[in-house]
Copies of this chain bind each other. A is one copy, B any other.
Amino acid sequence: MEPTQSIINYLDASFKSFEPGLRDRIAEAGVLKNIPAGEVIMRTGQYIKHSVLIASGRVKLYREGDDGQEVFIYYLEEGNACALSMICATKQESSEIMAKAVDDTTIIVIPIRMMDELMTTYRSWYYFVLENYRSRFEELLTVLDSVIFKAMDERLEFYLRNQFKSKGVDELTITHLEIANDLNTSREVVSRLLKKMELNGKIRLFRNSIAWVG
């Protein structure tokens, strides 16, 4: 398939709010890039020179601690943009988070110098950018909430709900250690709390996976 054609396909499929002119302009100037599952797209301290749209797949965003801890913040999915890439982009400042592809992911990369043009020419672009920002901002506030106000059992439940919902599954393939890392706690704590949730009938535990009972 010819690349320009592909970008249009992705835009039509996942960025439906884009007006035709915007779609064509991005198809013209953007570049498709495939990221294999597990690869890091962006790292703390790295300068960003492009805006990034997620055309397909799923990207996990982490905040990195001083000792290499990686705490899960949120997912970026098909139709999202990396808010930070747009914003850091405008000032070329350094990023503070780490983005890793969890599935095989296709992104559309747009050179930052186009931001001016898109912003002032296409209303649907600036709507998209602001709306994207707003929803990331609120997601960030939600995460902050759960960390500030909730104890670990509630944080865990919030985390699991999020995972089940975001992945659209009722059985989640994940280990206790992975969860513990995402929540910046220890594996034992997660195991114990999960056990408690199982006793309460909320979930069922298996090796390498958790099923939602609800």
Which residues of A pack against B, CB within 8 Å? 63, 65-66, 69, 71, 73, 83-84, 86-88, 90-91, 93, 96-97, 116, 119-121, 123, 126-127, 129-131, 133-134, 136-138, 140-145, 147-149, 184
Contacts and interface: CB of A to CB of B under 8 A. Distances in A.
Given A134-B88, A137-B83, A147 B147 contact: yes
Contacts of A130: 86-87, 90, 129
A40 B70 CA distance: 36
A119 B88 CA distance: 19
A137 B63 contact: no
A86 B137 CA distance: 12
Q: List 9 A-B pairs, minimum CB-CB distance, nearest first.
A: A87-B134, A65-B149, A147-B147, A90-B130, A119-B126, A96-B141, A140-B140, A71-B148, A144-B144
A144 B140 contact: yes
A25 to B, nearest CB: 15
Contact of A87 (B73, B137, B142): B137
Contacts of A134: 84, 87-88, 90-91, 93
A179 B49 CA distance: 40
Contact of A147 (B96, B126, B148): B148
Given A71-B148, A120-B126, A141 B97 contact: yes
A65 B184 contact: no
Given A137-B83, A137-B136, A137-B137, A90 B127 contact: yes
A40 to B, nearest CB: 18
A126 B129 CA distance: 11
For A116, A120, A130, A149, the residue with the greatest tally of chain B CB atoms inside 10 Å of its CB is A130
Nearest to A93: B134
30 contacts: A63-B141, A63-B144, A63-B145, A63-B148, A65-B148, A66-B149, A69-B149, A71-B148, A84-B137, A87-B130, A87-B131, A87-B133, A87-B134, A87-B137, A88-B134, A91-B134, A93-B134, A96-B138, A96-B141, A96-B142, A97-B141, A126-B126, A133-B133, A133-B137, A136-B137, A140-B140, A143-B144, A144-B147, A147-B147, A149-B184
